[in-house]
Amino acid sequence: MNEMSKPGAEAKLPDAQHGHNQPGSATLTLDGTGKSITLPVIPGTIGPSVVDIRKVYPELGLFTYDLGYGGTAATDSKITYIDGDAGILLHRGYPIEQLAEKCSFLEVAYLLLNGDLPTKAEMAEFDTGVTRHTMIHEQLRRFYDGFRRDAHPMAVMTAVVGAMSAFYHDSLDITDETHRTISAFRLIAKVPTIAAWAYKYSIGQPFMYPRNDLGYAENFLYMMNAVPAEPYQVSPVLARAMDRILILHADHEQNASTSTVRLAGSTGANPFACIAAGIASLWGPAHGGANEAVLKMLAEIGHVKNIPDFIAKVKDKDSHVRLMGFGHRVYKNFDPRAKIMQQTCHEVLRELGIKDEPLLDLAIELENIATHDEYFVARKLYPNVDFYSGIILKAMGIPTSMFTVLFAVARTTGWISQWKEMVEDPTQRIGRPRQLYTGAPQRDVSALADRG
Ligand code: CMC
């Protein structure tokens, strides 16, 4: 018996037990056929190894089946690592807690894109590169007029970012490294402008052009809140809080929207089209739309005294009600981003002099009850990053409909970094999943007249 497969040894080698860093091979036998294949087990630097199943179909004629891809690595990547059981999130090896404390969002963007934290000179150059691209083509401005005032800003984001492909032809050749770099700069630099204008359009105020003397988060808050009629000073504490919110949302491994960007990009589509696809995927309430859904849920609950009834509804499968901001596909312990977000939330409320925030009281009580309730404990449902971000954003005066947009602004850096990594990988192939077909077997078409 292999040492690792002895029960006693398993307890001492939790990594091996979970297939962490375990090279070697696995054998798959098709019962009753005598057919068997040996599959390589490939280790990563940390985290679970993978069984390379590429030979399963050609040699056994079987597809593998993994609804929701819970146990499937769709790619290898050097960008982000998550250990969902331990609540660890690393970007290029650096813990999210340290990045949130010591770095600016643009430093993290540089890190995600380039693999290492920038030196001072590299940072200055990157900063200038982003700053020089903050304006959007003046003709794109007119696109906004085509939308209803009450259009959801995510609809506007998807459309305007997608439309960038029609304006920046000089950076669409994905085989050219300079084009890829310029597109990355353009996307990171312009999404705050596009997002802020989507908001300004919805409230009927003039668009504010970017100010290149301001930092990234500061400029975004300026474009959202300033009006041409008077000077506007962005609070440094709020700019820092916004910067931190952007850091916490910058990248998150192969989540739904990132996988969407990669899948779209695997066909050779241009980066603007791919990021527009990512924005569409992020919009759903199970993903980026959750921060907006949390606030709606808190408003619906209304008062601490209504929490037990709401929790009862959540536990009732027939109600289809979920506790928004709770649970995560990967984190089965705690979401490290939620902890930082909770701390930031208190800082922001203190800075704004908000002592009594009923929504926060409600959120704290909800978290308290849910983290002790057997239903949530058994299913390892903990608050995720979106549970507190909505409360902070609301306190900062950001309207609810803009919450997911902010997530998209931040995640654009992660998406474009993942897209770049994929395009630069010589082994990259078009993403083309297969299926378990459960429809009708082949049958013949009868003429309409014969079908009764
Ligand atoms: N409230 C109540 N029950 C839940 C919740 C929830 N928020 N999340 C999962 N469950 C239950 C689910 O009903 C199931 O129970 P059972 O085993 O009895 O059928 C069990 O937990 C497992 O759920 P699942 O749907 O298989 O889990 P998943 O990994 O497919 O879903 C999730 C992950 C994030 C979509 C889900 O937890 C959810 O819908 N959460 C609320 C939405 C939310 O906050 N999303 C933001 C995620 S973090 C930001 C981001 O990365 O986008």
The whole-angstrom separation of Cα 62 and Cα 279 is 34
Question: What are the distances in angstroms from CA 120 to CA 6, 110, 240, 254, 341?
Answer: 52, 12, 20, 30, 28
The model's pTM is: 0.90
Q: Is the CB of 89 under 6 A from ligand 1?
A: no
Residue whose pair of structure tokens reads 């696809």 in the numeric block: 277
Query: What pLDDT does residue 118 have?
Result: 98
Query: What pLDDT does residue 35 have?
Result: 92
Half-sphere exposure of 351 (CA within 13 A, CB side): 16
- Strand-pair category, 88-91 with 94-95: antiparallel
Helices 271-282 and 153-163: angle between axes, nearest 10 degrees: 170
Query: What pLDDT does residue 333 have?
Result: 82
Q: Is the CB of 256 under 6 A from ligand 1?
A: no
Query: What pLDDT does residue 19 have?
Result: 64
Diameter over CA atoms, the chain: 80
Measured from the Cα of 287, ligand 1's closest atom is: 52
Q: Is the CB of 338 under 6 A from ligand 1?
A: no
Which amino acid belongs to residue 220?
F
Q: Is the CB of 252 under 6 A from ligand 1?
A: yes
Told to judge if 386 belongs to the known catalytic residues of this protein, a careful annotator would answer yes
Give the chain's residues under pLDDT 70.
1-22
Q: How far apart are the first and last CA of the chain?
A: 66
Query: What pLDDT does residue 152 have?
Result: 95
Atom 40 of ligand 1, nearest CA residue:
327
Q: Which candidate in 173, 328, 335, 361 is catalytic? A: 328
- CA of 433 from ligand 1 middle (Å) equals 24
- CA of 327 from ligand 1 middle (Å) equals 5
